[in-house]
Amino acid sequence: MTWLSILVPVYNVLPYLEECLQSVMDQADAGVQVLVLDDCSTDGSWALMQQLDQRWPGRLQLMQHERNAGLSAARNTMIDAATGDYLWFLDSDDKLLPGAIAGLSAIVKQHVPDAVLCDFSVWREAPRLKHRLRGEAHRHSFQGPTLQRSQDRGALLAGLLRTGQLHAWSKISRRSLWDAGLRFPAGRYFEDMMTMPQMALRCSSFYYCPQPWVAYRQRANSILASMTPAKAADQSAALWPLAQAVQALQDDALRNDGRLQFAWAHQAARNLIGALRFLDRQRDMPPAQRQALAQQFLADFGRISPLSLPALRQAYLRRGWWLRAWKLRSWERRAQQLGTPGAHA
């Protein structure tokens, strides 16, 4: 019986792929399906996948797209092919830490939750003292009920949004949660942030294990390190699918959950500031385009966040978050300047 499917999308990750798959093979039992999909790599990743398939005969299920379709499409193809009770998305430049699968198995057998959340470590080729001081050896992905099965959906969503760690690979979920058409948005950036809150919204139970199970490789070419107008727009609107899904539920208790309202608005503000920070640096962008994007980003926050910007600032002040309140007000003013016709940069 297949209790777990590990989904590994591959695109031009030749230097990292073997280490990633080795970390899985070192601990996968017979009930673990390992799906590996090549999204038309050009660096020899497909050839390496075939070599590794020979090293571990019958352990890998290789797949290949006919043309490059992007991360979301690769994951979606593997979701359709998965047979495990649970799905674990693992990026091909990251790796599972020892004991991860055994830890997951123990939780699933004892508690049978819809989702299991884990922590992670930041993996750098040459870590420095400042990285250790930041706590990169153990990053928490959740704030809320710990080491217990919980059915508090408001706590689940609030705990994820408070940390901002919305990546897919730190959340193992029942495959049945994806049966009703939940998929990653093809052709979009910030796809995890658009999708994982919706997954959490479908959960009736969850379990948070505060142990690092994934080593996340920090690479220079991440989304945030190479922003574009399209990426900034997707960041600004990333929580819109969550807003739509919550509205469709017509669950007044969830909509009025103060924990969720604050965490949701807090993450929406982080998205707004991230998009505005990019826009503020675009000195060569035509003024009309900067103006339109600034207005769009403010409008995105207005339709997504359950709290207005002034209400969120007050919530920060009540918590003693003076610097956050000041920062939010500063960026709100900058957005208004950028969005005003004829305003100087």
Return the domain boundaries, the chain. Answer: 4-219, 225-338
Per residue in 204-244, pLDDT (tens digit) is 999 999 999 999 998 766 555 678 999 999 999 999 999 99
- What is the CATH code of the structural domain delimited by 4-219? 3.90.550.10
pLDDT of residue 308: 98
Q: Average pLDDT in the 147-159 region?
A: 98
Q: Average pLDDT in the 288-298 region?
A: 95
pLDDT of residue 47: 98
Q: Average pLDDT in the 251-265 region?
A: 96
pLDDT of residue 126: 63
pLDDT above 70: residue 343: no
Q: Is pLDDT larger for residue 189 or for residue 344? A: 189
pLDDT of residue 133: 58
Decide if 85 contacts 4 (C-beta within 8 A): yes
Q: How far, in Å, CA of 191 to CA of 115, rounded? A: 19
**CB neighbours of 224 closer than 8 A, spacing ≥ 6?**
274
Q: What's the pLDDT band for 167 if we cut at 50, 70, 90? A: very high
Placement of tokens 């959960």 in the chain: 203
pLDDT of residue 250: 87
Q: Average pLDDT in the 298-311 region?
A: 98
**CB neighbours of 337 closer than 8 A, spacing ≥ 6?**
343
Q: If residue 128 lies in a helix (H) or strand (E), which one and from where to where?
A: none
Decide if 168 contacts 72 (C-beta within 8 A): no
Instruction: Kindly state the percentage of the chain with pLDDT values over 70.
Output: 94
Q: What mean pLDDT is reported for the chain?
A: 94
Q: If residue 218 lies in a helix (H) or strand (E), which one and from where to where?
A: none
pLDDT of residue 131: 58
* Residue 64 CB neighbours (<10 A): 14
Q: Average pLDDT in the 33-46 region?
A: 98
Q: Average pLDDT in the 165-188 region?
A: 97
Phi/psi at 289 (nearest 5 deg)? -70, -40
Instruction: Kindly state the percentage of the chain with pLDDT values over 90.
Output: 88
Placement of tokens 């949004």 in the chain: 161
pLDDT of residue 135: 62
Q: Is pLDDT larger for residue 42 or for residue 344? A: 42
Task: Tell me which amino acid residue 84 is.
Answer: G
| pTM score | 0.94
Per residue in 49-83, pLDDT (tens digit) is 999 999 999 999 999 999 999 999 999 999 999 99
pLDDT of residue 137: 86
Placement of tokens 């991440």 in the chain: 222
Q: What's the pLDDT band for 117 if we cut at 50, 70, 90? A: very high
> Which residues share a beta bridge with 216?
122
Q: Which residue from 222, 13, 11, 212 is spatially nearest to 96, judged by alpha carbons?
A: 212
